[in-house]
Amino acid sequence: MAKTIARLPIRVRYHECDQQGIVFNAHYLAYFDMASLEFFREVFGSYENLRARGVDTVVAESNLTYRAPNRYDDDIVVEVGVEHLGRTSLILVFTIVRDGEVVTAGTNRYVFVDAESLAKAAPPDDVREKLAALL
């Protein structure tokens, strides 16, 4: 289990729910995206500080497991940790918790790219060191 580095509390909004009254599945990726920005803020001060080092990230793969539904007005917390750091990739693990129960879990695999050209590139050593310290 990855150590939690950042947390994002969310109250489920009405428009995020489908006709069955539960959060529509695509919104979970938006929750992961919002929480990933909190992660980068926690580690680098802001996402822009990461980009200022000449590197950016793009999502290459997402995986989700739904364990229980979330509904309008539920208070949930998205927790983020590092699962893996490769030469040019990073896997963040996301856990969505409601009332102490894990209701959704997933991962995003990010590929590091040059901030200007968007070509795949290894991150600078100082970026790698900060991320490696979180494993």
Domain boundaries, given as residue ranges, for the chain: 6-132
Assess whether pLDDT exceeds 80 at residue 127: yes
pTM: predicted TM-score of the whole model, two decimal places: 0.94
For 25-34, what is each residue's pLDDT tens digit? 999 999 999 9
CA distances from 62 to 34, 68, 76, 89 (A): 14, 19, 20, 13
Question: Nearest to residue 98, comparing CAs of 12, 3, 29, 4?
Answer: 12
For residue 48, give the H/E element and its range: helix 47-52
pLDDT in tens, 34-70: 999 999 999 999 999 999 999 999 999 999 999 999 9
Confidence of residue 103 (pLDDT cuts 50, 70, 90): very high
Pick the CATH number of 6-132 from 1.20.810.10, 3.20.20.10, 3.10.129.10, 3.40.50.300: 3.10.129.10
For residue 1, pLDDT beyond 80: no
**Is the four-CA dihedral 86, 91, 92, 94 of positive or negative sign?**
negative
